[in-house]
């Protein structure tokens, strides 16, 4: 299988505190990878480095053969939800997604509607995002990640705030995306999510990342 | 063209956040009260003599010793949230890349500076209602103020510099004032953007306030020092219009401001490309 993400000897420190210490891993197309680890073990930092939002100190990250920080500054073809999803508070969910899509130079209302429906939101709901519940905001974050139809998805604790039904729906959605040959990196503190969804599991501890399954 | 649209969309994203931000309303309200306070003796004078006022008081208002500082302090309040990276910023930069995101922020700074300048212009005219009259010349009241000492007898603290009336038509003076404001405001915005990206969010506001205080120091100590105080050049009275006075010439001010704007833009770009930009709280 072809590797879509390659990480080689990646290092990242914050004031001598080694968060990522010589991490290497390959991620193949069409698989779901679980990243687990205790709070503060560096999962979010790893995701930010892969996107290009955070610079790393040494090593390299290749996305589709392009080196982050050298060939490209921000990863292309990657959808992500990292930490709290942030939106313009006084606009509806659909309006927020429309603006974000516009930044890519695209305009596709049908796609936005479809993605919102896929995550269980009503695209015609005129309610402002500031009035959304935590789970609705999270669903909108997931719609945002998938709407540009990226090949890679970086999902940092995507089930945050979702109810049981929501969790089931998202699990089904992620498996469906895997069928479409998307590569998903998923961090989660929920063992069931990891067991059910992931083909490969990595555990982060003391700056190292070792394969668990 | 499509690329320009994408960049503008990033810039307008920041503007869309204004409506939900109490800080913006505070700026508008404070500005309104300040201008009202400064102009009300003029309005009373105009009512007493039954002569209306033109909408061109802005260059004189800004010439007052207080105005330059107050307007700049309010501007610092406007840009204190630089580098404008709240929770939605990762979603934007992932779609635009760092360079376009940076360009969007620079566009935003210029657009916000223009809005702020326009707001000052509009409020200086609006508070004159009902004694406001559209006219194409400076009008009787301003001419009288500029040529006699009558203004100070009526408690008017705005200086009506005769050199401005003599050298410029109202449209020219307003245009020049807009250009000076835009360049100085954008320079402050970029300075704060650069410092906040490099360090933390408090630093930009503190240094920018320092620049405003240096202005007070420079103006009081010596005209020579105003050559190093770009904030002073917001006032046409602190520039020698014909290029012969003790203060910097208009040409000098415009050239230095353009150079400062370019240097700050290049420095900010380098910092944006090199540093990790953190997600910050909305303030
Ligand atoms: N911008 C930063 N500056 C300094 N330290 C940071 C920064 N970002 C993260 N860290 C530190 O890096 C470490 C890893 O943080 P990270 O957010 O990646 O943890 P995590 O594995 O995602 O934890 P959680 O499960 O709680 O989400 C923490 O010790 C954190 O304090
Ligand atoms: Mg995390």
- The model's pLDDT over B127-185, given as tens digits with 9 standing for 90+, comes to 999 999 999 999 999 999 999 989 889 999 999 999 899 999 999 999 999 999 999 99
* Contacts of A158 by beta carbon, 8 Å cutoff, 6+ apart: A81, A138, A141, A142, A170, A186, A188
Please determine, for residue B189, whether its predicted confidence score (pLDDT) is greater than 80: yes
A57 vs B contacts (CB less than 8 Å): none
In the predicted model, what is the mean pLDDT of residues A163-167? 93
- B65-83 pLDDT per residue, tens: 889 999 999 999 999 998 9
Average pLDDT, chain B: 92
**Residue, of B2 and A165, whose pLDDT is higher:** A165
How far apart are the CA of A154 and the centre of ligand 2, in A?
A: 12
- A77-118 pLDDT per residue, tens: 999 998 788 899 999 999 999 999 999 989 999 999 999 999
Share of chain B above pLDDT 90, in %: 76
| B8 touches A: beta carbon within 8 Å | no
> How far does B104 lie from chain A, in Å, by closest CA?
10
Ligand 1 atom closest to the CA of A83, numbered from 1 = 27
> Is the C-beta atom of A14 inside 6 A of ligand 1?
yes
**Token reading at A151:** 């090949």
pLDDT at B159: 92
Q: What is the dihedral of CA B31, B32, B33, B35, to 10 degrees?
A: 80
Strands A208-211 and A3-14: unpaired
**Which ipTM was obtained for this model?**
0.92
For chain B, the C-alpha Rg in angstroms (whole number) is 20
Alpha-carbon distance of A171 to A175, in angstroms, equals 6
> Is the C-beta atom of A143 inside 6 A of ligand 1?
no
B279 vs A contacts (CB less than 8 Å): 83, 86
Alpha-carbon distance of B83 to B93, in angstroms, equals 13
Please determine, for residue A181, whether its predicted confidence score (pLDDT) is greater than 70: yes
Domain edges within chain A? 1-77+151-168+182-213, 86-149
**Token reading at A47:** 């995701």
Question: Ligand 1, atom 3: nearest CA belongs to which residue?
Answer: A14
- List the alpha helices (DSSP H) in A5-62: 43-51
Average pLDDT, chain A: 93
Share of chain A above pLDDT 90, in %: 91
The backbone torsions φ and ψ at residue B74, rounded to the nearest 5 degrees and listed phi first, read -65, -35
* Fold held by A1-77+151-168+182-213: Rossmann fold (3.40.50)
Alpha-carbon distance of A118 to A108, in angstroms, equals 16
Alpha-carbon distance of B185 to B182, in angstroms, equals 5
Alpha-carbon distance of B278 to B267, in angstroms, equals 18
> How far does B280 lie from chain A, in Å, by closest CA?
11
- B85-121 pLDDT per residue, tens: 888 889 999 999 999 999 999 999 999 999 999 999 9
Alpha-carbon distance of A27 to A2, in angstroms, equals 8
Please determine, for residue B1, whether its predicted confidence score (pLDDT) is greater than 90: no
Q: By the 8 A CB rule, do A25 and A202 touch?
A: yes
Confidence band for A1, pLDDT divided at 50, 70 and 90: low
Q: How many CB atoms lie within 10 A of CB A168?
A: 12
> Is this model's pTM higher than 0.90 or not?
yes
How many structural domains does chain B have?
A: 1
Closest CA to A46 of A140, A183, A186: A186
Question: Which domain does B13 fall in, by range?
Answer: 2-281
């Amino acid at each position: 299988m072809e590797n879509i993400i390659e990480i080689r000897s990646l290092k990242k420190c914050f004031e001598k505190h080694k968060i990522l210490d010589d991490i290497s891993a390959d991620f193949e197309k069409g698989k779901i990878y679980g990243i687990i680890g205790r709070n503060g073990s560096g999962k979010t930092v790893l995701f930010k480095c892969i996107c290009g939002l955070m610079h790393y100190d040494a090593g390299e990250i290749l996305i589709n053969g392009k080196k982050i920080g050298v060939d490209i500054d921000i990863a292309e073809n990657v959808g992500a939800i990292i930490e709290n999803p942030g939106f313009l508070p006084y606009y509806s969910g659909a309006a927020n997604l429309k603006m974000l899509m516009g930044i890519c130079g695209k305009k596709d209302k049908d796609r936005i509607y479809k993605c919102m429906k896929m995550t269980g939101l009503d695209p015609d709901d005129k309610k402002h995002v500031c009035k959304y519940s935590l789970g609705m905001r999270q669903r909108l974050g997931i719609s945002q990640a998938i709407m540009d139809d990226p090949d890679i998805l970086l999902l940092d604790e995507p089930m945050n705030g979702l109810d049981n039904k929501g969790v089931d729906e998202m699990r089904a959605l992620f498996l469906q995306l895997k069928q479409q040959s998307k590569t998903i990196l998923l961090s989660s503190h929920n063992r069931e999510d990891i067991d059910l969804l992931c083909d490969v599991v990595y555990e982060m501890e003391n700056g190292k990342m070792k394969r668990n399954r | 063209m499509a690329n320009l649209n994408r960049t503008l969309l990033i810039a307008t994203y920041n503007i869309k956040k204004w409506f939900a931000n109490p800080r913006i309303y505070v700026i508008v309200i404070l500005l309104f009260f300040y201008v009202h306070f400064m102009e009300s003796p003029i309005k009373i004078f105009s009512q007493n003599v039954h002569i209306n006022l033109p909408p061109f008081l802005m260059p004189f208002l800004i010439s007052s010793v207080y105005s330059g500082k107050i307007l700049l302090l309010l501007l610092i309040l406007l840009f204190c949230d630089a580098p404008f990276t709240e929770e939605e910023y990762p979603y934007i930069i992932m779609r635009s890349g760092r360079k376009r995101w940076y360009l969007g922020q620079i566009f935003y700074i210029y657009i916000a500076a223009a809005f702020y300048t326009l707001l000052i212009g509009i409020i200086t005219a609006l508070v004159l209602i009902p004694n406001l009259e559209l006219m194409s010349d400076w009008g009787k009241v301003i001419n009288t103020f500029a040529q006699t000492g009558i203004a100070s007898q009526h408690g008017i603290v705005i200086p009506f510099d005769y050199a401005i009336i003599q050298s410029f038509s109202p449209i020219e003076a307003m245009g020049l004032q807009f250009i000076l404001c835009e360049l100085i405001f954008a320079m402050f915005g970029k300075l704060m953007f650069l410092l906040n990206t490099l360090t933390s969010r408090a630093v930009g506001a503190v240094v920018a306030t320092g620049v405003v205080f240096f202005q007070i120091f420079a103006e009081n100590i010596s005209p020579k020092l105003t050559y190093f105080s770009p904030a002073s050049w917001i006032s046409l009275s602190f520039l020698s219009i014909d290029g012969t006075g003790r203060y910097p010439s208009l040409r000098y001010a415009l050239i230095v401001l353009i150079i400062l704007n370019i240097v700050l833009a290049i420095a900010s770009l380098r910092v944006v490309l090199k540093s990790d930009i953190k997600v910050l709280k909305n303030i």
